[in-house]
Amino acid sequence: MSEKPEKPAESPDYRATLFLPATDFPMKAGLPEAEPKWLARWAEMDLYGQIRARAKGRPLFILHDGPIYANGDIHSGTGLNHILKDFVVRSQGMLGKDAPYVPGWDCHGLPIEWKVEEKFRSQGQAKEDIPKDVLRRECRTFAAHWLNVQREQIKRLGQIGDFEHPYTTMNFKAEAAIAREAMKFVENGLLYRGFRPVMWSPVEKTALADAEVEYHEKQSPTIYVRFPITPKIQQQSASLDVDFVTDPESGKVTLGTKSTDAYIDKVAALQSAASDLVNKHTFIVIWTTTPWTIPGNRAIAFSPEISYGLYQVADATDGSLARPSEQLLLADTLAEQVAKHAKMMLSRVRTVTADELKSLVAAHPLRSLGYNFEVPVLPAGFVTADTGTGFVHNAPGHGEDDFELLVGMDRDYPIKNPDAFSLVQPDGSYAPDVPGFAGKRILTPEGKDGDANGAVIKELIAHGKLLAKGTLRHSYPHSWRSKAPVIFRATPQWFVAIDKPFLNGKSLRELALTAIGETKWYPPRGANRIGAMVESRPDWVLSRQRAWGVPLAIFVEKKSGQVLNDKDVFRRIEQAFEAEGADAWFTSPPSRFLGEGRNPDDYEQVTDILDVWFDSGSTHVFVVENPIDANWPKAERADLYLEGSDQHRGWFQSSLLESVGTSGRAPYRGVLTHGFVLDEQGRKMSKSLGNTLAPQVIAEKNGAEILRQWAASSDFTEDLRIGQDIIKANVEAYRRLRNTIRFMLANLSGFDEKERIEYSKMPELERFMLARLAELDAIVRSAYEAFDFGLVNATLFNFCTNDLSAFYFDIRKDALYCDPMDSARRRAARSVTDEIFRRIVTWYAPILCFTMEEAWTTRFGMGSSVHLQDFFPAPADWHNPTLIEKWKRVRSFRRVITGAIEIERAAKKIGSSLEALPVVYFDPSEWTALDEREAAEVSISSNLKLRPLAEAPEGAFSLPDVPNVFVIVGSAGTQDEKCARCWRVLPEVLEHPDTHLCDRCTYAVAALEPA
Ligand SMILES: [Zn+2]
């Protein structure tokens, strides 16, 4: 017997009588060349228009696009984001919705203005010399250029949508709508001009929003500073018209009411208890990483939760700034660490209670330099004992907590203490009236450390107030754009009040938190993430001192300081912006807006522009709820926002606050987030690391389809990795899938509706496959509805690999190739393959939009498109859990047989499974009711014997997870018994010595001959 099965030499060649697979669908995809052709074809046939027309009257599903910032090539994160959006839009459409997609661009803001300024600078023109409208025009051109570049890059990835009519925040009508939204915050009373510390970039000379700030390592000086204690205990305690109450649960310190006698008694007791603290040798020690804020110090904060002690310096080594016998107040857990840094030995004198601490008043350490302030010692919830001394120096002009602490005690604090807020100028230098430090710089114009810290340290040493110094590397806020460090600086800015009740007695914060609870978050942890941010966020700084943006178009009445709230004025501004763009604000006289009867001299025109996050936070209004373009569908609100998880801080939040502030509810029903795209080692992608992988590069080299395959096969709710090895794995997965599609196309060649066989006449195997399709239908639909593309992909891929390639098609190859054309079995197999093809190709179409279109048109012609299909329904009679359960057992049973045959094949004892004669020992009641012919068919053997379990011989093959099934594989017969056409080995072949055919093939060949 030969090693390989061979057709007997003397028998005729029957290849022409087989129904061999035939298709034009190539094995090699050639995606990089094929994809642009599909894109051109879709554009030519206006596929998007056809999809929309077909969906007319269906329920709308609005995915509102988060605007891309128009200032550079798209990166891998943008690519992922837009591929996921395309999955959503296409799948929602195929689920039976009208799912439009209007892409958007964010065009205003500092990064663009910065680029344009750079361009002017390189031409030798300073920013100050360029008229605002010239600068704005350049910015507009810059944004329009990048919009076009990005649009082409995104379209290349296969995304479908109304790319001919995108929305932009710089469209005149959009500018008008954004300005009008800001006016609504005048109408609801939440807009106020406040004075408080905000993140300020001295390099860019502007306030920054949280979302414009990123954290990087920075080396900072650290200093320990002595604050003398004054004898003003009594006055200070009595002058405070309040008492502090610590909430036992939250630890939050709030103001309680002052009681009468009890309070006075308490103060008296404190006076005597704390008297040993008031002398020239006792100091409160603070620690800070920003020495330059010391001139702004106005208070010291401590925590009532921390235990404090009075320590005496017992000894100090050479070079120490500590003085033996001086006494220091320190947190007990930090005393040792302070002693180490200050090179001193400490001995603990006694405990100092919180009541004693809050009765103390310190003096500013640079009192004799002109800082003649009393420095109250105040309990605060934000003080921790992680690092430092347990005492936090408090500069209300340069820290949020600091500001809140003092203003929490006295709303008028900033008005009463202007000098605490005017220390630092916009460029980061001390103001001319700052004692001792005028003109010193915190940061240089290039963003490097200036001379301010050094000058302050020098004075502290000169005044004997420095206890120790060092350096620290820590995470510090930097401008997202200039990468230079930022500072906290109190400036007059326009704010949206977060905690002011305005709607049914509720504040923006309360309403936003309610709206978060009413929104569906994918994944659900997003609710906690944005909830925590909204819970703790400060008021929204709306104003920016820049040129490129939508102006905060309001007037302030000079006499009253009130913002002018006049609907007619608002309407005139809106109309002017609609017609001429927001430039009108800077080019028209105020009288144009103020109207008759108002003297422009009585009003201050605000020239700040709006935070760019307010622009994008308003897009829901003019794109979704009240579209400014007739091409865009109008909806009550968006169904979904889909962006990277960093947008909890950015767009999701600004849109939420904007919408809640103007309409009391969220602008979205659901929010879906994805992680960041990292390199293969899990590192962030950056130009400096050289590990970036742009989506357009992958599209050109491997095909956008591979990127889409990758997006669908990754868990996008976490950070995702991409690199050459991962791409290779996806190329391989794609190849296998393509092979399965190709098999179906090849075996459906010439399939005719007349050939279709009705359900009841199908073999059980076919009915089982249809039951699986029905099962998949439910899974795929619910997964698409939940935006779980990973589940869709895994389910379909497993089905193609395990159910189709390794099982159903493997079994049915014989019937498809060899059965006569009218065989019920072959007709059933083709009918079911047709159903599978239609479903697999449509189910995969939202993900692999190019390949499924190729498959669909290969079968149904270039006049068709898979993207004009819905998911096919699963007829009710396909559902058959009993059959699924039965065939689960059949497949386990089959695995033992094919496993046993595989061993024989590997040992080269047989050529193909058709030459094997498996003998299976089992208990039919336990495993399967198949007869020998059926069992042979599913295990792709020519013949098979079933025997009682009790007869199973020693050494028979079995699988541990399929108990009580044993298989012995013998040889099916001789070479003479092998059918020359189908290669099955059957004794009946001996009855056809001339043809060497089996009975089935005899019939099949005869049927082909002309009658
Ligand atoms: Zn045959």
pLDDT digits (tens, 9 = 90+) for 333-373: 898 889 888 889 888 888 888 888 887 888 899 988 888 88
Report CA-CA distances (Å) from 736 to 209, 800, 833.
49, 9, 17
Compute the distance from residue 898 Cα to the ligand 1 centre, in Å. 21
The C-alpha atoms of residue 548 and residue 544 are separated, in whole angstroms, by 10
Say if residues 523 and 717 touch (Cβ distance below 8 Å).
yes
Q: Which H or E element spans position 241?
A: none
Average pLDDT, the chain: 90
Reported as a single tens digit per residue, the pLDDT across 753-800 is 999 999 999 999 999 999 999 999 999 999 999 999 999 999 999 999
Compute the distance from residue 682 Cα to the ligand 1 centre, in Å. 56
Compute the distance from residue 131 Cα to the ligand 1 centre, in Å. 88
pLDDT at residue 238 tops 70: no
Compute the distance from residue 887 Cα to the ligand 1 centre, in Å. 27
Compute the distance from residue 865 Cα to the ligand 1 centre, in Å. 39
Compute the distance from residue 904 Cα to the ligand 1 centre, in Å. 23
pLDDT confidence band for 939 (50 / 70 / 90): very high
Compute the distance from residue 916 Cα to the ligand 1 centre, in Å. 15
Compute the distance from residue 971 Cα to the ligand 1 centre, in Å. 18
Reported as a single tens digit per residue, the pLDDT across 23-38 is 999 999 999 999 999 9
Reported as a single tens digit per residue, the pLDDT across 44-81 is 999 999 999 999 999 999 999 999 999 999 999 999 99
Compute the distance from residue 981 Cα to the ligand 1 centre, in Å. 5
Compute the distance from residue 757 Cα to the ligand 1 centre, in Å. 23
The C-alpha atoms of residue 610 and residue 654 are separated, in whole angstroms, by 12
Compute the distance from residue 481 Cα to the ligand 1 centre, in Å. 74
Report which of 788, 776, 783 is spatially closest to residue 839, judged by C-alpha positions.
Answer: 776
Angle at 322 between CA 320 and CA 325, to 5 degrees: 135
Question: pTM of the full predicted structure?
Answer: 0.80
**667 vs 315, higher pLDDT:** 667
For residue 600, the tally of other CB atoms under 10 A from its CB is: 14
Compute the distance from residue 1001 Cα to the ligand 1 centre, in Å. 4
Compute the distance from residue 989 Cα to the ligand 1 centre, in Å. 8
Compute the distance from residue 26 Cα to the ligand 1 centre, in Å. 29
CA 97 to chain centre: 25
pLDDT at residue 234 tops 60: no
Compute the distance from residue 819 Cα to the ligand 1 centre, in Å. 9
Compute the distance from residue 1005 Cα to the ligand 1 centre, in Å. 10
- Please give the average per-residue pLDDT across 203-212, as a whole number: 80
Compute the distance from residue 924 Cα to the ligand 1 centre, in Å. 29
Compute the distance from residue 828 Cα to the ligand 1 centre, in Å. 19
Reported as a single tens digit per residue, the pLDDT across 876-902 is 999 999 999 999 999 999 999 999 999
**What angle, 0 to 180 degrees and rounded to 10, lies between the N-to-C axes of helices 724-747 and 849-860?**
10
pLDDT at residue 9 tops 60: no
Compute the distance from residue 980 Cα to the ligand 1 centre, in Å. 7
**What angle, 0 to 180 degrees and rounded to 10, lies between the N-to-C axes of helices 824-844 and 849-860?**
140
Compute the distance from residue 991 Cα to the ligand 1 centre, in Å. 12
Output the pLDDT for position 183: 98
Compute the distance from residue 416 Cα to the ligand 1 centre, in Å. 103
The C-alpha atoms of residue 558 and residue 563 are separated, in whole angstroms, by 9
Compute the distance from residue 997 Cα to the ligand 1 centre, in Å. 5
Compute the distance from residue 326 Cα to the ligand 1 centre, in Å. 106
Compute the distance from residue 996 Cα to the ligand 1 centre, in Å. 8
Reported as a single tens digit per residue, the pLDDT across 326-344 is 899 999 989 888 988 888 9
Compute the distance from residue 767 Cα to the ligand 1 centre, in Å. 25
Which token pair is 605? 């025109």
Output the pLDDT for position 90: 98
Compute the distance from residue 16 Cα to the ligand 1 centre, in Å. 14
pLDDT confidence band for 305 (50 / 70 / 90): confident
Compute the distance from residue 850 Cα to the ligand 1 centre, in Å. 39
Compute the distance from residue 745 Cα to the ligand 1 centre, in Å. 24
Compute the distance from residue 467 Cα to the ligand 1 centre, in Å. 99
Output the pLDDT for position 264: 54
Compute the distance from residue 998 Cα to the ligand 1 centre, in Å. 4
Residue written as tokens 């020998």? 932
Say if residues 548 and 109 touch (Cβ distance below 8 Å).
yes
The C-alpha atoms of residue 955 and residue 959 are separated, in whole angstroms, by 12
Which token pair is 586? 């800077």
Compute the distance from residue 936 Cα to the ligand 1 centre, in Å. 14
Compute the distance from residue 810 Cα to the ligand 1 centre, in Å. 17
Phi-psi region of 640 (alpha: psi -120 to 50; beta: other; left: phi over 0): beta
- Please give the average per-residue pLDDT across 903-928, as a whole number: 89
pLDDT at residue 256 tops 70: no
- Please give the average per-residue pLDDT across 168-194, as a whole number: 96
Compute the distance from residue 275 Cα to the ligand 1 centre, in Å. 111
pLDDT at residue 252 tops 80: no
Give the environment of ion ligand 1: residues with CB less than 5 A: 979, 981-982, 998, 1001
Which token pair is 176? 């008008």
Compute the distance from residue 5 Cα to the ligand 1 centre, in Å. 14
DSSP letter at 63?
Answer: E
CA 58 to chain centre: 29
Compute the distance from residue 988 Cα to the ligand 1 centre, in Å. 10
Compute the distance from residue 999 Cα to the ligand 1 centre, in Å. 7
Cis preceding linkage at 523, omega within 30? yes
Compute the distance from residue 162 Cα to the ligand 1 centre, in Å. 56
pLDDT at residue 414 tops 50: yes
The C-alpha atoms of residue 1011 and residue 994 are separated, in whole angstroms, by 21
Compute the distance from residue 973 Cα to the ligand 1 centre, in Å. 14
Compute the distance from residue 615 Cα to the ligand 1 centre, in Å. 73
DSSP letter at 16?
Answer: G
Output the pLDDT for position 861: 95
Residue written as tokens 């002690």? 309
Secondary structure (3-state) at 219: strand
Compute the distance from residue 945 Cα to the ligand 1 centre, in Å. 20
Compute the distance from residue 337 Cα to the ligand 1 centre, in Å. 89
Compute the distance from residue 3 Cα to the ligand 1 centre, in Å. 21
Compute the distance from residue 644 Cα to the ligand 1 centre, in Å. 59
Compute the distance from residue 986 Cα to the ligand 1 centre, in Å. 9
